[in-house]
Amino acid sequence: MEDLTLLKLLIAIMLLFKEIISFQALASTFESDVTALQAIKKGWQATNLNWNGDDPCGSSWRGVSCDQSTSTLVKQLSLSSVGLNGRLLPSVSNLINLESLDLSFNPNLTGPIPDTIGSMIKLKSLNLQGCGFIGSIPPSLGILANLSFFALNGNQLIGEIPFQLGGLGAVTWFDVSENLLSGALPVSSVSPSNVGLNNLSAVQHLHLNNNTLFGLLPKEICSLPKLIHLLLDSNNFSGVIPAEISQLSNLQILRLDDNKFEGEIPSSINKLASLSELHLSNNNLNGSLPNLSGLQELMLLRLSQNMFDPQAVPTWIVNLTKLQTLEMDNDSLTGAIPPSVFDIPYLETLSFQSNNINGRLQFNVVTSSLTEVSLENNNITDVGGYSNSDQFQLLLIGNPVCSDNRFNFSSSICSQSSLASWVRDPSSCTTTCPDSKILNPLACTCAFPLVLQFQFNAPSFADVNTTRMHSLETQLEMAFNLSTQQVVAGSANFTEKHRLLANVLIFPAGSADSLSQAQVSNIISQLSLQSVSLTDFGPFIVKPLSQPPSGSKSGSNLSSAAIVGICIGAVGVFIVLLCIGIYAVRQKRRADKAEATSKPFASWGAGNKDSGSAPNLKGARWFPFTELKSATSNFSDSNQIGAGGYGKVYKGTLVTGEIVAIKRAQQESMQGAAEFKNEIELLSRVHHRNLVGLIGFCYEQGEQMLVYEYMPNGTLREHILGKDGPETFDWTKRLEIALGSAKGLSYLHELANPPIIHRDVKSANILLDEKLVAKVADFGLSKLVADGKGHVSTQVKGTMGYLDPEYYMTQQLSEKSDVYSFGVVLLELITARQPIERGKYIVREVRTALDKGGLQALRPLLDPSLRSYPNRDMESYLDLSLRCVEENASRRPSMSDVAKELEGLLVNDSSLGFTGSNANGRKYEQDEYSNQK
């Protein structure tokens, strides 16, 4: 009874304590600000705002910052990337003292931008980038005369840019890029009130790229005195580039690429002494190139895909001593390249693809910085001063020199180029992290990092490497006063529009689990507000991909409410003791809940069919759904790289920078929990050089996903049946691909335990890695051969044209069913034809031709790009292929026998010197057929 009385007394004291604090809070809070915040909160659905209590300034409301002198006026509202869902209500304008409004990177924050924001006359920063706002830009925003930062990029805004925005006389950063804006640029000469973008007298950054803006580039824009970045790329601008462009004396970056500009490049551009980047690619520019040797600060020059008159490679290029990147693809260049071009001191990449460069390519003195020379699709017949051991990559595919047997080029020289990318080398750490934590490969510790994706809109380079990414890490450490090894660049790659995407992880220092919420907010806020400058990387956008779990706390100044708490010290002691008991009980409950949450396999035991224990995996790991969702940008269509009966396949980038392929099952293809568990246990044990490796899986939130290693060169089908014609694979490469595939299938049939029948062998399920090594994929739903049986009775599944007729008739699936399908792949590999094409079946067509006239009669069916091969080896290859597609399964060889015969052909091919592109120059007289035109 006494205990109960004491408990009631303590509760009464706590209620009194709360009333005292609430009274003090109300007394110190500016009432209209409280009302405004509570009103705008009604438009949002967010569970992590932590807006509790009646005092935004004294109760640490998330993202709310107040006047430091009075602690009564709300000055900043910073809620970048906190998962806001809903609309921004007009009542936000009641925060009349607000100076900074940052709601960036909340993609589910939608609806129109309230025009009432125009009444927030004290606003200095408006950051609404990366949200889902729709409708037009409110003209009333032009009233914000004190605004210096204006970012509405990355939304779905439509309509014209209001001419009233010319009233933003103090703005230095103006960004409305990556929207759906249209119309002409508003300038004072055509606006009703003589106000337009040319009145932005303080603007330094004008980013209007990636919209559907059209019309001329007004010469008035060229009068902006402080402009350093003008990004107008990826629009529909037309007409000539005005000669007045030379008036932008402080301009450093000019992006006019991917438009419809025409006429000649104005020679006045040569006066832009501060210009470091000039992007004019993909326009309709014509005439002769002007002399641009006056651009002594130029680091990047892109002029590709225009309509210039035929002309020699400009000699003035060698005077651009700071040039790092030079791209002039498809520009009607003729003649030879002056050897002195390759000695420009800082030159890294040079690309003159699809021109009429001819004659001898001569390398004399080559700068040590050079990494790539791309000259595909020209008429180069000779190369001097280059060897395969040189430090830079030479790309010559599509030149006569690649068919000349005199040159012992490595295969990469006559291969297709790809967009530059970089992935951090695998860590040597032996540390194993819990499923929910990420390994810091530099410090070998585990934590919850802040993961950011940088989009650099105009980097001054086209080659991304370890040195450059280390520079990015160092600059970010210095910017945020972080220690060495806290910032880790995971991966980076260039897009087709010459933007650089880089994933960066920021780890806590020492043994801490995560950065504090204050640190995270500070980093995101400074980056989104462009308070950090990154040398050589240029203007950027930062998107948070993953944030540490909430709960980390940072120090804060004592509020007035806290002072009241201290003043009632004796009461506080009792309250603390009581709270400790309550806290302990709650923590126990939370721990139990967290433990249940951390067991993704607990639900697998439903119905007493499974213990719910974790699968017994070898090398594969469990991925939370949120991580794979982030890795694929919410499974966006742009990341989809394949689809089938099982579901869709997405390209994803993990927080570690590793690129993976994620196969996501559709509802009707999902297995039961126990079956899925058994499957991933099996697949995690299947390891072979010629099988696509399983990295992990996800079984959460009603999802079944398999995570595989990513194959950058896609499918075999894409190469041999590509929309642009078949890939030029020589005879040896085709044998290597066939042998690798056969070895992978042989492993499944004979060495996997239990054996696995693939059931859908086809060229679309044979993938090629970065070195064109073949790997069999998509055996995740294959059938297991158990209990020593040689076959499995199953519903017929597979792809028409590859399907074993005996399996189709009897529904008895065996390893020989895979052999039949592989035989079709072998024929597809040398004919570059689909199994069934215009009603003709490739197996029947090849067999009929051989029966009619042997190899000579078959030659019209062979791939024209297969230029030469030994006749005897081709005959052996065809004999093997047709034995694989025998209608009677007992007459087909085993997959291990197929691999042995292919290996014999490859060994024989090498012993004859028939490797690469007939590199040793051997002439096969009567034992070789050449299909060269």
Over 756-800, what HEC string results?
EECCCCCHHHEEECCCCCEEECCCCCCEECCCCCCEEECCCCCCC
Residues 699 and 825 in one domain: no
Residues 676 and 758 in one domain: no
pLDDT tens per residue across span 497-533:
888 999 999 999 988 889 988 888 889 888 988 888 8
Residues 699 and 741 in one domain: no
Mean pLDDT of the chain: 83
Q: What is the DSSP string of 649-684?
A: EEEEE-TTS-EEEEEEE-GGGPPPHHHHHHHHHHHT
Provide the pLDDT for residue 901: 93
Residue 921 has pLDDT above 70, yes or no: no
| Domain assignment of residue 240, yes or no | no
Provide the pLDDT for residue 425: 79
Residues 763 and 740 in one domain: yes
Provide the pLDDT for residue 924: 35
DSSP 8-state assignment for residue 418: -
> In the chain, what is the straight-line distance between the N-terminal and C-terminal CA atoms, in Å?
105
Residue 85: which residues within 8 A CB-CB, separation 6 or more?
A: 44, 45, 46, 106, 108, 109
| Domain assignment of residue 76, yes or no | yes
Residue 684 has pLDDT above 70, yes or no: yes
Residues 766 and 823 in one domain: yes
Q: Are 373 and 413 in contact (CB under 8 A)?
A: no
Containing structural domain, residue 175: 24-215
Q: Are 126 and 147 in contact (CB under 8 A)?
A: yes
Residue 736 has pLDDT above 50, yes or no: yes
In SS3 terms, 596-639 reads as HHCCCCHHHHHHHCCCCCCCCCCCCEECCHHHHHHHCCCCCHHH
* Mean pLDDT of all residues in 47-74: 78
Residues 154 and 50 in one domain: yes
**Choice between 605 and 696, residue whose per-residue pLDDT is larger:** 696
| Domain assignment of residue 625, yes or no | yes
Structurally, the chain folds into a number of domains equal to 5
CATH number, domain at 141? 3.80.10.10
Q: Are 341 and 313 in contact (CB under 8 A)?
A: yes
* Mean pLDDT of all residues in 887-901: 93
Say how many CA atoms lie within 13 Å of 503 toward its Cβ: 23
CATH number, domain at 825? 1.10.510.10
pLDDT tens per residue across span 440-491:
989 999 999 999 999 999 898 888 888 889 999 989 999 899 988 999 998 8
Residues 109 and 44 in one domain: yes
Q: Are 532 and 439 in contact (CB under 8 A)?
A: no
Whole-number Cα distances in Å, 346 to 368, 509, 673: 8, 36, 58
Provide the pLDDT for residue 561: 40
Phi, psi of 551 (to 5 degrees): 130, -25
Residue 550: which residues within 8 A CB-CB, separation 6 or more?
A: 48, 517
Confidence of residue 34 (pLDDT cuts 50, 70, 90): confident
User: Which range is least confidently modeled, 314-323, 368-377, 644-653?
Assistant: 644-653
Confidence of residue 391 (pLDDT cuts 50, 70, 90): confident
Q: Are 364 and 384 in contact (CB under 8 A)?
A: no
pLDDT tens per residue across span 827-882:
999 999 889 887 788 999 999 999 888 888 898 899 888 878 888 899 999 999 99
| Domain assignment of residue 294, yes or no | no
Residues 411 and 436 in one domain: no
Taking the CA atoms of the chain, what radius of gyration do you get in angstroms? 33
Provide the pLDDT for residue 455: 92
Provide the pLDDT for residue 796: 54
Length in residues, the chain: 933
Residues 800 and 909 in one domain: yes
Q: How far apart are CA 616 and CA 929, in angstroms?
A: 53
| Residue from 320, 328, 317 nearest 351 by CA | 328
| Residue from 120, 206, 119, 111 nearest 157 by CA | 111
Residues 108 and 167 in one domain: yes
3-state secondary structure of 646: coil
Residues 412 and 432 in one domain: no
3-state secondary structure of 307: strand
* Mean pLDDT of all residues in 299-324: 96
pLDDT tens per residue across span 207-235:
999 999 999 999 999 999 999 999 999 99
Q: How many CB atoms lie within 10 A of CB 669?
A: 13
Q: How far apart are CA 301 and CA 358, in angstroms?
A: 22
User: Which range is least confidently modeled, 252-261, 285-294, 809-818?
Assistant: 809-818
DSSP 8-state assignment for residue 396: -
Q: How far apart are CA 290 and CA 284, in angstroms?
A: 16
Residues 690 and 781 in one domain: no
Q: Are 780 and 646 in contact (CB under 8 A)?
A: yes
Q: Are 546 and 453 in contact (CB under 8 A)?
A: no
List residues bridging with 149 in a β-sheet: 125, 173
Residue type, 671: Q
Q: What is the DSSP string of 313-337?
A: PPGGGGG-TT--EEE-TTS-EEEPP
pLDDT tens per residue across span 339-350:
999 999 999 999
Confidence of residue 20 (pLDDT cuts 50, 70, 90): very low
Residue 416: which residues within 8 A CB-CB, separation 6 or more?
A: 376, 397, 727
Q: Are 361 and 338 in contact (CB under 8 A)?
A: no
Q: Are 369 and 345 in contact (CB under 8 A)?
A: yes
Does this model's pTM top 0.85? My answer is no
Separation of CA 403 from chain center:
36
Confidence of residue 134 (pLDDT cuts 50, 70, 90): very high
Q: How many CB atoms lie within 10 A of CB 159?
A: 13
* Mean pLDDT of all residues in 262-280: 96
CATH number, domain at 610? 3.30.200.20
User: Which range is least confidently modeled, 350-354, 581-585, 893-897?
Assistant: 581-585
Which residue carries 């998962």 as its tokens? Answer: 83
Residues with catalytic function = 760
Locate 258 and state its tokens. Answer: 């991917």
| Domain assignment of residue 203, yes or no | yes
